């Protein structure tokens, strides 16, 4: 299947269809127009899949799903002759033939088209660039991933579905490569508020019996929609709407107190959010979302004594490895590495003999990183144990090849393993591991320029200056931090000089000096003398 969306010039057809611009239209495109113009009300489908999707985002199902044969596609389209009525045209025979055994394929496809409508892609002009067209496709994939989460799919379901789509021949298609689409769909699937929204929908069902007033019920539905809109668009105006709606229906229950704490947290009103958690802990000795609490207190300067008490209580009494791990992260961010390491040791002891899991991998990785932390004196670093823990973490993650966690953290493990090899002067293994990392897809650009720089430094120390120049160049091209750039230019400049390339060496040293590297300035002064 190929999702191609078309935007017709008004002078061609007066229809807006996401995405490619056409005037000389193909037979399929003529058929699309025919599905809308000949009789716009024929073959209207009352499809439950579409209702599932609209129910999950709290809106009326005001999209018309219509069968449109011989298009081999699904297309989001606005019909200007019907007051911009929103259609989703669907070649049922095509999809049933190719995807009849995949229960989530139709859901993803239709949700993708709904995403085009909700993101305003069907009302945009037709002169969008390839980059903009691909961006629109990824936004629609993000929405579809979010919907599949709500309907109980797994990450593997998303990956399996998108991998069935035809792969574009190059990067100049209106559609991105499938790996990019998978990444964005999984972002929607794993959106940071999904956990919260799951709870919100559970609450919604529980409250239905308590809300007898029709107006209040309507306002609660609007509240749900506002939270969802904030999730999709990250626009604070939706949080303001949610606050207003809460003020209309708040009955003082825990549900609404939790909602208000969440909104305060998202708006950066950390003090008000903390008040809720403090009160919650006083009542029940429990924190609903300890990770969220940690995130809040990590963003404030002064720590309330009540919060200190909560943290101390949790540290001494909790036997939950996830909570202990979250607490260790807080102290790590506060640069209290000794405290963080002690907590990680406790978390490690709690999961040491448990079955392998992603949480166990998390703890092994963090504890390994803490044991060789460069902030520690060299004599206090335990390279061997750190390396063992990181290797165990790596083995666990390799059993989750389709999990987004794999793509996010596998590279982190490789980077820190390579760092240990480098510190141990095991240069061959260090270079191999850094290069393996660079072959992977890197979401963290720090790993890219730092790995190149580490490889370059190893070659520099080996007096292999052409190789050092190559990798310092790679580091420079991928680094945007002047604090590192000034050093990379300095080291590349020295490499050029030692490789008997005086002009390029001086050029790098001059630039490094201008960026603030004092060593470069001193070398230049020495050369001038």
Q: What is the pLDDT of residues 352-411, one digit of tens each?
A: 998 888 889 989 999 999 998 877 777 778 889 999 999 999 998 888 765 555 666 888
What mean pLDDT is predicted for residues 413-420? 93
d(CA 76, CA 274): 44
What mean pLDDT is predicted for residues 62-77? 74
Question: Tokens representing 11?
Answer: 């002078």
Q: Which residues contact 174 (CB under 8 A, 6 or more apart)?
A: 4, 5, 19, 20, 130, 133, 134, 137
Q: What pLDDT, on the 0 to 100 scale, is given for residue 454?
A: 96
d(CA 339, CA 327): 10
What mean pLDDT is predicted for residues 165-194? 77
Tokens 């799951």 found at = 198
Query: For residue 113, is it left (φ>0), alpha (ψ between -120 and 50) or beta?
Result: alpha
Q: Is the pLDDT of residue 475 over 80?
A: yes
Q: Is the pLDDT of residue 528 over 70?
A: yes
Q: What pLDDT, on the 0 to 100 scale, is given for residue 164?
A: 80
d(CA 156, CA 100): 18
d(CA 309, CA 313): 6
What mean pLDDT is predicted for residues 318-342? 89
Please give the residue that has the higher pLDDT: either 202 or 101: 101
Question: Tokens representing 143?
Answer: 């929405």
| pLDDT interval class at 464 (50, 70, 90) | very high
| pLDDT interval class at 510 (50, 70, 90) | very high
Q: Is the pLDDT of residue 434 over 70?
A: yes
10 Å CB burial of residue 59 (0-12, 13-18, 19+) is middle
Question: Tokens representing 199?
Answer: 């709870």
Q: Is the pLDDT of residue 6 over 50?
A: no
Least confident span in 268-272, 299-303, 391-395, 499-503 = 299-303
Most confident of 110-114, 271-275, 418-422: 418-422
What mean pLDDT is predicted for residues 451-480? 93
CA-based R_g, the chain, Å: 28
Q: Is the pLDDT of residue 236 over 60?
A: yes
Q: What pLDDT, on the 0 to 100 scale, is given for residue 61?
A: 61
Q: Is the pLDDT of residue 14 over 60?
A: no
What mean pLDDT is predicted for residues 300-315? 80
Note the Cα 417 to chain centre separation in Å.
24
Q: Is the pLDDT of residue 96 over 70?
A: no
For 276-287, the pLDDT digits (tens) are 777 777 776 666
Q: Are 79 and 36 within 8 A, CB to CB?
A: yes
Q: What pLDDT, on the 0 to 100 scale, is given for residue 378?
A: 73
Q: Is the pLDDT of residue 41 over 60?
A: no
β-partners of residue 87 are 64, 77
| pLDDT interval class at 333 (50, 70, 90) | confident
Strand 63-67 versus strand 44-45 pairing type: antiparallel
For 202-231, the pLDDT digits (tens) are 545 544 544 455 556 677 777 777 776 776
Q: Is the pLDDT of residue 430 over 90?
A: yes
Please give the residue that has the higher pLDDT: either 68 or 54: 68
**What is the pLDDT of the chain when averaged over all its residues?**
77
3-state SS class at 394: helix
d(CA 111, CA 55): 12
Q: Is the pLDDT of residue 451 over 90?
A: yes
Q: Are 200 and 255 within 8 A, CB to CB?
A: no
| pLDDT interval class at 3 (50, 70, 90) | very low
Please give the residue that has the higher pLDDT: either 4 or 16: 16
Q: What pLDDT, on the 0 to 100 scale, is given for residue 470?
A: 95
Least confident span in 334-348, 377-391, 488-502 = 377-391
Please give the residue that has the higher pLDDT: either 20 or 363: 363
Q: What is the share, in percent, of the chain residues with pLDDT greater than 70?
A: 73
Least confident span in 39-43, 132-136, 330-334 = 39-43
Q: What pLDDT, on the 0 to 100 scale, is given for residue 53?
A: 72
Tokens 């959106």 found at = 191
What does pTM read for this prediction? Answer: 0.55
β-partners of residue 90 are 67, 74
d(CA 387, CA 418): 10
What mean pLDDT is predicted for residues 110-120? 81
Q: What is the share, in percent, of the chain residues with pLDDT greater than 90?
A: 22
| pLDDT interval class at 52 (50, 70, 90) | low
End-to-end alpha-carbon separation of the chain, Å? Answer: 70
d(CA 434, CA 415): 7
């Amino acid at each position: 299947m190929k999702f191609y969306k078309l935007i017709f010039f008004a002078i061609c057809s007066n229809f807006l269809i996401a995405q490619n611009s056409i005037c000389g239209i193909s037979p399929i495109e003529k058929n699309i127009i025919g599905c809308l113009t000949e009789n716009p009300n024929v073959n209207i489908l009352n499809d439950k899949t579409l209702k599932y999707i609209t129910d999950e985002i709290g809106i009326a199902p005001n999209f018309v799903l219509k069968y449109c044969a011989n298009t081999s596609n699904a297309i989001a389209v606005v019909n200007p002759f019907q007051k911009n009525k929103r259609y989703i045209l669907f070649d049922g025979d095509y999809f049933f033939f190719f995807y009849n055994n995949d229960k989530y394929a139709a859901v993803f496809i239709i949700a993708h088209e709904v995403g085009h409508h909700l993101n305003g892609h069907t009302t945009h002009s037709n002169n969008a660039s390839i980059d903009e067209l691909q961006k629109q496709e990824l936004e629609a994939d993000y929405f579809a991933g979010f919907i599949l989460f709500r309907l109980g799919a797994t990450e593997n379901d998303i990956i399996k579905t998108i991998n069935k789509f035809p792969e574009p021949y190059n990067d100049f298609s209106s559609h991105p490569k499938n790996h990019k689409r998978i990444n964005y769909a999984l972002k929607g699937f794993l959106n940071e508020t999904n956990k919260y929204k799951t709870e919100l929908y559970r609450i919604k069902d529980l409250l239905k019996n308590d809300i007898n007033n029709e107006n209040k019920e309507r306002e609660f539905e609007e509240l749900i929609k506002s939270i969802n809109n904030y999730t999709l668009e990250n626009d604070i105006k939706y949080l303001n709407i949610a606050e207003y709606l809460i003020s209309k229906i708040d009955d003082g229950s825990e549900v609404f107190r939790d909602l208000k704490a969440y909104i305060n947290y998202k708006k950066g009103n950390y003090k008000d959010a903390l008040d809720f958690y403090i009160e919650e802990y006083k009542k029940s000795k429990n924190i609903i979302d300890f990770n969220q609490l940690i995130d809040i207190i990590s963003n404030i300067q002064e720590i309330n004594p009540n919060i200190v008490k909560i943290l101390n209580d949790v540290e001494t009494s909790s036997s939950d490895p996830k909570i202990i791990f979250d607490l260790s992260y807080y102290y790590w961010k506060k640069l209290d590495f000794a405290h963080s390491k002690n907590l990680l040791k406790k978390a490690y002891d709690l999961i040491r003999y448990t079955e392998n899991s992603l949480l166990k991998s998390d703890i092994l990785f963090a504890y390994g990183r803490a044991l060789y932390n460069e902030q520690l004196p060299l004599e206090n670093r335990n390279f061997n144990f750190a390396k063992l823990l990181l290797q165990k973490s790596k083995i666990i993650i390799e059993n989750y090849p389709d999990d987004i966690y794999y793509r996010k953290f596998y590279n982190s493990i490789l980077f820190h393993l390579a760092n240990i090899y480098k510190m141990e002067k095991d240069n061959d293994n260090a270079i191999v591991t850094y290069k393996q990392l660079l072959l992977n897809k890197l979401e963290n650009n720090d790993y890219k320029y730092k790995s190149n720089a580490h490889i370059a430094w190893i070659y520099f120390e080996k007096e292999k200056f052409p190789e050092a120049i190559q990798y310092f160049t790679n580091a420079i091209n991928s680094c945007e931090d002047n604090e590192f750039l000034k050093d990379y230019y300095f080291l590349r400049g020295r490499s050029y000089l030692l490789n008997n390339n005086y002009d390029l060496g001086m050029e790098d040293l001059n630039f490094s000096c201008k960026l603030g590297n004092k060593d470069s300035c001193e070398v230049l002064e020495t050369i001038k003398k």
